[in-house]
């Protein structure tokens, strides 16, 4: 109940005073025999004078009555009794006893058959009269006191009840079946700032959020029709115009005939819980984004939006420290003006460079409550003020080793510090942002390591092919040398045969192109170029790899066949990586056939197109007639470092599978029905 914490105190004190020191109680104390002696707090004096006043009034009435009756020589004892009763109705026994005695004296002295200065107590009638007066005074005052005590008790109970109703940490109200609001508690009045009269009829629409009107009206209609309790989560407007979430619970009260006579409603503030739930849901969404491998920019953008949703009016910004740790680069700031984010992009960090530059430099949060006056904003003040930014609270994002990764900042358009809940959000979200950044760094490092590993294995594979490649390059070179020598000889003749020379030179060009092609392919496979995504023709990939591996396969006595589908759709990916997959499969096939009788050694490369629900897929398969693999091996073939070869690394299939999966495809192996194995991979055709 933010902003309402101090509320109950006053109500409590007032009610306590009413409850514990009721005014009427003083009379009870006085008539119970308070001495009337000197007192310090004035209470006894006050009682004395009040009793004296009552006596005085009683005496005056008695005197008047006696004078009249004396003149008329009437003796109406009943009239004196009435005066005693009137005084007794004040509940003051002392006053009524004194007046009783005075009444009797008047009666006995002035109106006795033998009036005289002496009191006549020997007359039994006189004794009866004085006793009757005193008894009447006693009975009436005690009745009045009792009545007054019960009245005070009721009032005290009512006070306590209203104290409880006003103190419970909720807005409460009672409604009649007609819909008229009978009462609401003080908290309700203070929260809404409305009077009970203003709340009547459709007045509830004034404090319930317009988007919740339908929901509340529907629920309440249904509950009234069924006479059942209901609850609903609803936004209620505070007197300052801010809406907060409340859980409204309403229950009916029934009479003995089962009819609903009242509806009791309690609204509990659930704003903090709602906020925590929304934050948790947002965090979950962000974690899912991170786990799903979403781009860092998208994650940071979502993170900023989450914070901005949670704290109305703030603008969120994330800056990332560059690799050298000297400059801050734009990370995300979906709501800050682009001209501002562009202007601060690349700012150097330092001991006095705005909130973010300083926070990144010090590795500590920097809270600037007024950009207009804070010395740390000297260099960026004009820029910020031109964009109506007045406050900026920046927190460094730290890696698990405590290294600054960047800053997480909230801007406000008013000069102020962060509210408690904004501080909480920053404390919860900053580590999440740091995890996102650190994870991206780690993923980038992993990607680089994988690329390097793939390159190393390509180099290793090419090493195995070195002899064939050398041969492959040597052949055209030898042919070039032979053709060139022939040309020289022909040209040395008196009448050179230019047709022969032309033919030989054409062969030279072709051979040099062939050699250049081989070298180019090897260079491609050895390159460190980053992975690309471009349309690739898998048929061409097969030809290129067979031209590279073909000589080696032939050297090993392996027959190579290809059955390629004519209209293979293009696939999107990195040509070199796809070449590497095929190279690995061909090399594995060749190695699997070392023990195969020479006449059975053959590799078949098939390509087919399959039309699935989501479009065309290209399937490439490399079939061999080698030793194959058993069921036990099948489960481990794609594990890193699993090899059955003395000089194998066990990385070929592992890397191939990760390449294919990065291209959204699959790689798998099957044992052939007779002997040997077939490895397949599929890739989605270009859509």
Does position 465 interact with ligand ATP (CB under 6 A)? The reply is no
Helix axes 466-492, 498-526, angle to 10 degrees: 160
What one-character-per-residue DSSP string does 237-299 give? E-TTS-EEEEEEEEEEEE-TTS-EEEEEEEEEE-HHHHHHHHHHHHHHHHHHHHHTT--HHHH
Nearest CB to ligand ATP, comparing residues 521 and 680: 680
Q: Which of the ranges 245-253, 317-325, 502-510, 585-593 carries the binding residues for Mg ion, by CB under 5 A?
A: 585-593
Task: Decide if residue 648 touches ligand ATP (CB under 6 A).
Answer: yes
DSSP state of 600: G
Q: Which of 152, 649, 662, 668 forms a contact with ligand ATP (CB under 6 A)?
A: 649
Q: Should residue 645 be labelled a site residue for ligand ATP when binding is judged by CB under 6 A?
A: yes
For 587-591, the CB contacts below 8 A with 24+ separation are: 587/461, 587/464, 587/549, 587/652, 588/624, 588/652, 588/653, 588/679, 589/558, 589/622, 589/623, 589/624, 589/626, 589/677, 589/679, 590/549, 590/552, 590/553, 590/556, 590/558, 590/624, 591/626, 591/645
Residue 646 CB, shortest distance to ligand ATP, in Å, is 10
Interface with Mg ion (CB under 5 A), residue total: 2
Name residues contacting Mg ion, limited to 648-667 (CB under 5 A). 652
Smallest distance, Å, CB 676 to ligand ATP? 7
Which residues lie closer than 8 Å to 294 by C-beta, 6 or more apart? none
Output 580 or 588, the one with its CB closest to Mg ion. 588
Cβ distance 247 to 267 under 8 Å?
A: yes
Binder among 650, 662, 675, 686 for ligand ATP (CB under 6 A) = 650
For ligand ATP, the closer of residues 191 and 629 by Cβ is 629
Residue span binding ligand ATP (CB under 6 A) among the ranges 34-42, 547-555, 602-610, 640-648: 640-648
- The region of 145-153, 176-184, 549-557, 635-643 touching ligand ATP under the rule CB under 6 A is 635-643
CB of 664 to ligand ATP, least distance (A): 21
Q: Which of Mg ion, ligand ATP, none interacts with 650 (beta carbon under 5 to 8 A by kind)?
A: ligand ATP
- Site pattern 552..591 for ligand ATP (x: CB under 6 A): --------------------------------x---xx--
Query: In 292-353, where does DSSP find H-type helix?
Result: 296-310, 338-344
Q: How far is CA 224 from the centre of its chain?
A: 35
One of 335, 527, 644, 672 touching ligand ATP (CB under 6 A): 644
| Axis-axis angle for helices 420-464, 271-291 (nearest 10) | 10
Q: Does 440 bind ligand ATP (CB under 6 A)?
A: no
Between 221 and 645, CB nearer to ligand ATP: 645
Give me the least distance between CB of 566 and Mg ion, in Å please. Answer: 30
Asked if residues 667 and 677 have their Cβ atoms less than 8 Å apart, the reply is no
Looking at the Cβ atoms of 479 and 589, the one nearer to ligand ATP is 589
Give the count of beta carbons closer than 10 Å to the beta carbon of residue 26.
Answer: 16
Say which entry of Mg ion, ligand ATP, none residue 508 contacts (CB below 5 to 8 A, set by partner kind): none
Closest approach of ligand ATP to the CB of residue 681, in Å: 13
Cα angle at 330 between 325 and 332, to 5 degrees? 125
**Cβ-closest position to ligand ATP:** 652
Within 49-78, the residues that bind Mg ion by CB under 5 A are: none
Kindly indicate which of the ranges 98-106, 225-233, 431-439, 651-659 contains the residues binding ligand ATP, using the contact rule CB under 6 A.
Answer: 651-659
State yes or no: residue 624 binds ligand ATP (CB under 6 A): yes
592 binds ligand ATP (CB under 6 A): yes
Binding partner of 589, given Mg ion, ligand ATP, none, CB within 5-8 angstroms per partner class: ligand ATP
Please choose, from the candidates 594, 334, 357, 341, the residue with its C-alpha nearest in 3D space to the C-alpha of residue 464: 594
Instruction: Tell me the CB-side half-sphere exposure of residue 232, using CA atoms within 13 A.
Output: 21
Quick one: 604 exposed, middle or buried, by C-beta within 10 A (0-12, 13-18, 19+)? Answer: middle
- CA dist 398 and 396 (Å) reads 6
Q: How many residues bind ligand ATP, per CB under 6 A?
A: 22
Report the nearest approach of ligand ATP to the CB of residue 608 (Å).
19
Q: Binding string, 119-158, against ligand ATP, x = CB under 6 A?
A: ----------------------------------------
CA angle, residues 472, 456, 683, in degrees to nearest 5: 85
Note whether 588 binds Mg ion by CB under 5 A.
yes
DSSP-based three-state secondary structure for 39: coil
Strand 677-684, strand 615-623: pairing: antiparallel
- Binding mask 367-406 toward ligand ATP (x if CB under 6 A, else -) reads ----------------------------------------
Size of the chain in residues: 687
Q: How far is the CB of 556 from ligand ATP (least distance, A)?
A: 14
Which pairs from 22-26 meet CB under 8 Å and 24+ separation?
A: 22/152, 22/155, 22/156, 24/148, 24/149, 24/151, 24/152, 25/152
Alpha-carbon gap, residue 19 to 22, rounded angstroms: 6
Q: Which of residues 663-682 bind ligand ATP (CB under 6 A)?
A: 677
Alpha-carbon distance 394 to 366, whole Å? 5
Task: Please select the residue that binds ligand ATP; options are 188, 204, 263, 654, rule is CB under 6 A.
Answer: 654
Backbone φ, ψ for residue 636 (5° rounding): -110, -5
Partner from ligand ATP, Mg ion, none contacting 628, C-beta within 5 to 8 A by type: ligand ATP
The residue range among 78-86, 143-151, 587-595, 615-623 that interacts with Mg ion, by the rule CB under 5 A, is 587-595
User: Which residues does 516 contact at the CB level (< 8 Å), separation at least 6?
Assistant: none
Query: By CB under 6 A, is residue 627 in contact with ligand ATP?
Result: yes
Applying CB under 6 A, which residues contact ligand ATP? 584, 588-589, 592, 624, 626-629, 637, 642-645, 648-654, 677
Applying CB under 5 A, which residues contact Mg ion? 588, 652
């Amino acid at each position: 109940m933010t902003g309402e914490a101090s509320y109950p105190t006053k109500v409590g004190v007032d009610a306590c005073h009413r409850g514990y020191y009721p005014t009427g109680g003083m009379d009870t104390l006085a008539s119970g025999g308070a001495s009337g002696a000197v007192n310090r707090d004035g209470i006894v004096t006050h009682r004395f004078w009040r009793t004296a006043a009552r006596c005085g009034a009683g005496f005056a009435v008695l005197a008047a009555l006696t004078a009249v009756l004396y003149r008329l020589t009437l003796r109406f004892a009943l009239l004196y009794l009435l005066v005693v009763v009137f005084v007794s109705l004040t509940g003051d026994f002392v006053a009524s006893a004194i007046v009783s005695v005075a009444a009797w004296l008047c009666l006995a002295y002035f109106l006795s058959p033998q009036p005289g200065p002496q009191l006549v107590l020997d007359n039994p009638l006189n004794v009866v009269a004085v006793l009757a007066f005193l008894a009447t005074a006693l009975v009436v005052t005690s009745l009045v006191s009792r009545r007054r005590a019960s009245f005070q008790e009721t009032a005290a109970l009512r006070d306590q009840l209203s104290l409880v109703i006003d103190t419970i940490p909720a807005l409460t109200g009672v409604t009649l079946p007609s819909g008229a609001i009978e009462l609401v508690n003080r908290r309700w009045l203070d929260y809404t700032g409305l009077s009970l009269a203003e709340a009547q009829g459709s007045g509830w629409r004034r404090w319930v959020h317009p988007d919740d009107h339908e929901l509340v009206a529907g629920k309440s209609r249904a509950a009234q029709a069924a006479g059942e309790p209901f609850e609903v989560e609803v936004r209620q407007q505070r007197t300052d115009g801010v809406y907060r979430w409340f859980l409204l619970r309403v229950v009916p009260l029934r009479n003995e005939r089962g009819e609903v006579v009242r509806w009791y409603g309690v609204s509990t503030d659930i704003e903090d819980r709602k906020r925590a739930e929304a934050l948790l849901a947002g965090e979950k969404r962000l974690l899912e984004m991170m786990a799903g491998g979403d781009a860092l920019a998208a994650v940071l953008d979502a993170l900023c939006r989450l914070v901005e949703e949670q704290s109305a009016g703030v603008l969120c910004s994330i800056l990332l420290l560059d690799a050298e740790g000297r400059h801050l680069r734009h990370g995300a700031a979906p709501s800050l003006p682009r001209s501002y984010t562009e202007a601060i992009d690349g700012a150097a960090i330092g001991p006095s460079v705005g909130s973010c530059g300083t926070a990144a430099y010090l590795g500590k949060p920097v809270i600037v409550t007024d950009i207009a006056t804070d010395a740390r904003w000297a260099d960026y003040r004009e820029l910020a003020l031109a964009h109506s930014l007045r406050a900026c609270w920046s927190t460094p994002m730290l890696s698990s080793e405590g290294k600054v990764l960047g800053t997480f900042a909230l801007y406000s358009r008013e000069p102020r510090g962060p509210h408690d809940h904004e501080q909480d959000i920053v404390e919860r979200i900053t580590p999440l942002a740091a995890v996102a950044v650190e994870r991206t760094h780690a993923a980038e490092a992993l990607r680089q390591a994988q690329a390097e590993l793939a390159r190393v294995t390509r180099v290793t594979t090419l090493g195995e092919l070195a002899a064939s490649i050398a041969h492959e390059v040597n052949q055209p070179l030898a042919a070039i040398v032979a053709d060139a020598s022939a040309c020289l000889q022909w040209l040395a003749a008196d009448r050179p045969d230019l047709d022969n020379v032309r033919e030989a030179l054409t062969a030279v060009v072709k051979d040099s192109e062939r050699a250049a092609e081989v070298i180019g392919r090897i260079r491609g496979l050895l390159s460190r170029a980053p992975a690309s995504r471009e349309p690739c023709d898998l048929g061409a990939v097969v030809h290129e790899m067979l031209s590279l591996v073909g000589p080696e396969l032939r050297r090993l006595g392996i027959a190579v066949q290809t059955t390629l589908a004519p209209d293979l759709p293009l696939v999107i990916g990195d040509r070199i990586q796809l070449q590497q997959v095929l190279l690995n499969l061909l090399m594995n096939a060749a190695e699997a056939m070392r023990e195969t009788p020479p006449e059975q050694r053959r590799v078949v490369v098939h390509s087919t197109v399959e039309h699935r629900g989501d479009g065309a897929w290209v399937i490439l398969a490399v079939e061999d007639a080698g030793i194959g693999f058993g069921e036990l091996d099948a489960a481990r073939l794609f594990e890193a470092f699993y090899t059955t070869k003395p000089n194998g690394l066990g990385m070929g299939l592992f890397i191939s599978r990760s390449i294919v999966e990065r291209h959204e495809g699959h790689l798998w192996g099957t044992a052939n029905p007779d002997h040997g194995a077939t490895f397949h991979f599929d890739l989605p055709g270009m859509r």
